[in-house]
């Protein structure tokens, strides 16, 4: 693999996509995962062991909660992320154990500090719409790179897309880089997030964008 995606998702949109037992989703961007591009499930014998991340527990619950299943002692989401993505990321020395993988993802999340950057740019959950180009411009201004932004397309009768996920890309040296393909690099087949029947796809620049503050 060539790059890592640090995916943040907006819990309110995640809940909107799935009629699951979402209760009071956090009103801040939380971690969806840290994903090497183009690889999945690299070592099926390397099982998730929650005791390895005991010391990260309070951060994990706060910044990387299982939005869809709100019970606190549920570790299924982390198990899935480790087995699907962590076992692949582990080819890097800085990510080669469960403790390092989850710890580093939390560190990158705090370093990116998406929540406060959006607030500083005046982009906050609201019942009025945003222009996607304005959101992209603000993020590029802050970070100097272009993240990948995914939305829930408009439902029938709606005119706006709903922002759902923002992914920052990192090199193997864990430096921020653009998410778009560099010369000579093929774009990975997008692994769209499917929850229930609806799924996220790359946001359209022309549709008004909804950044919802609570589950409708």
Predicted confidence at residue 214, as pLDDT, reads 79
User: So what's the pLDDT on residue 16?
Assistant: 86
The confidence score (pLDDT) of residue 215 equals 64
The SS3 of residue 156 is coil
Task: Give the DSSP per-residue string, 94-127.
Answer: GGSSHHHHHHHHHHHHHHH-HHHHHHHTT----S
- What is the structure's pLDDT at 113? 98
Q: Reply yes or no on whether 85 is catalytic.
A: yes
Question: pTM of the prediction?
Answer: 0.91
Distance CA 39, CA 27 (A): 31
Q: Which of 8, 32, 83, 167 is catalytic?
A: 32
pLDDT of residue 198: 63
Strands 201-202, 130-131: pairing kind: unpaired
- Which ranges of the chain have pLDDT less than 70? 19-21, 72, 181-198, 215-216
Among 81, 111, 155, 158, the active-site one is 81
Instruction: Specify the pLDDT at position 189.
Output: 43
Q: Based on the number of CB atoms within 10 Å of its own CB, is 58 exposed (0-12), middle (13-18) or buried (19 or more)?
A: exposed
Burial 154-185 (b: 16+ CB within 10 A, else e): eeeeeebbbbbbbbbbbeeeeebbbbeeeeee
Q: Are 211 and 28 in contact (CB under 8 A)?
A: no
Q: Domains of the chain, with CATH numbers?
A: 4-182+195-211 (3.90.730.10)
What pLDDT, on a 0 to 100 scale, did the predictor assign at position 192?
46
Structure confidence at residue 155 (pLDDT): 85
Q: How far is CA 150 from CA 46, 87, 136, 190, in A?
A: 31, 25, 11, 11
Q: Looking at residue 196, what is its pLDDT?
A: 44
80 is known as an active-site residue: no
State the pLDDT at residue 69: 81
Per-residue pLDDT tens over the stretch 191-213: 444 444 468 999 999 999 999 99
């Amino acid at each position: 693999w060539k790059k890592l995606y640090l995916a943040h998702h907006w819990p309110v949109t995640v809940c909107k996509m799935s009629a699951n037992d979402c209760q009071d989703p956090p009103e801040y961007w939380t971690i969806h995962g840290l994903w090497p591009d183009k690889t999945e499930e690299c070592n099926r014998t390397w099982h998730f062991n929650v005791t390895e991340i005991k010391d990260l527990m309070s951060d994990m619950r706060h910044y990387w909660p299982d939005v869809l299943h709100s019970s606190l002692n549920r570790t299924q989401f982390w198990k899935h992320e480790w087995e699907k993505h962590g076992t692949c990321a582990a080819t890097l020395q800085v990510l080669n154990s469960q403790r390092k993988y989850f710890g580093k993802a939390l560190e990158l999340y705090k370093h990116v500090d998406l929540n406060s950057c959006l607030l500083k740019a005046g982009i906050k959950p609201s019942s009025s719409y945003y222009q996607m180009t304005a959101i992209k411009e603000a993020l590029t201004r802050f970070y100097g790179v272009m993240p990948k932004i995914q939305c829930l397309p408009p439902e029938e009768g709606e005119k706006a897309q709903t922002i759902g996920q923002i992914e920052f890309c990192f090199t193997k040296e864990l430096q921020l880089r653009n998410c778009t393909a560099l010369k000579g690099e093929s774009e990975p087949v997008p692994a769209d997030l499917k929850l229930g029947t609806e799924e996220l796809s790359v946001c359209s620049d022309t549709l008004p964008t909804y950044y919802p503050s609570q589950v409708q």
